[in-house]
């Protein structure tokens, strides 16, 4: 790896974990790998997120974040990680406060 590629990688990691989360689309893709495009699920055991209220989505994400809601092990349905096991608690714990809020607003508006 060249020095400049390395610097670029560090820069993009810093941006991705930055509080402002300028680009939400990567995280949205992650959600959509289970919840379906636009949060409209075609999977019986994965709920749709589209059109649920911001407050509801935000509250549930916090419940998963604090392990207040049971996290059953599920699997990715689409994309590169299809069939890889994952839980909503692990997903929620990878999110910043700003990302939880932004995702709640995004899926509520779908």
Q: Which residues, in sequence order, are CB contacts of 55 under 8 Å at separation 6+?
A: 104
Nearer residue to ligand HEC within complex by CB, 21 or 88: 88
Q: What is the DSSP letter of 84?
A: -
- Under the rule (CB under 6 A), what is the footprint of ligand HEC? 27, 30-31, 33-35, 45-47, 49, 52, 57, 60-61, 71-72, 74-76, 86, 88, 91, 95, 103
Nearer residue to ligand HEC within complex by CB, 7 or 82: 82
Q: What is the C-alpha to C-alpha distance for residues 53 and 47, in angstroms, rounded to an integer? A: 14
> Structure tokens of 31?
């959600």
Nearer residue to ligand HEC within complex by CB, 8 or 70: 70
């Amino acid at each position: 790896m060249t020095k400049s590629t390395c610097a670029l990688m560090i820069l993009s990691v810093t941006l991705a974990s930055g509080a402002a989360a300028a680009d939400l689309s990567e995280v949205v893709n992650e959600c959509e790998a289970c919840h379906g495009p636009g949060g409209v699920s075609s999977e019986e055991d994965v709920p749709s997120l589209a059109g649920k209220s911001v407050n509801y989505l935000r509250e549930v994400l916090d419940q998963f974040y604090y392990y207040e809601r049971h996290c059953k092990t599920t699997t990715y349905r689409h994309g590169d990680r299809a069939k890889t096991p994952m839980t909503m608690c692990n997903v929620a714990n990878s999110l910043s406060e700003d990302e939880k809020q932004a995702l709640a607003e995004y899926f509520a508006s779908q």
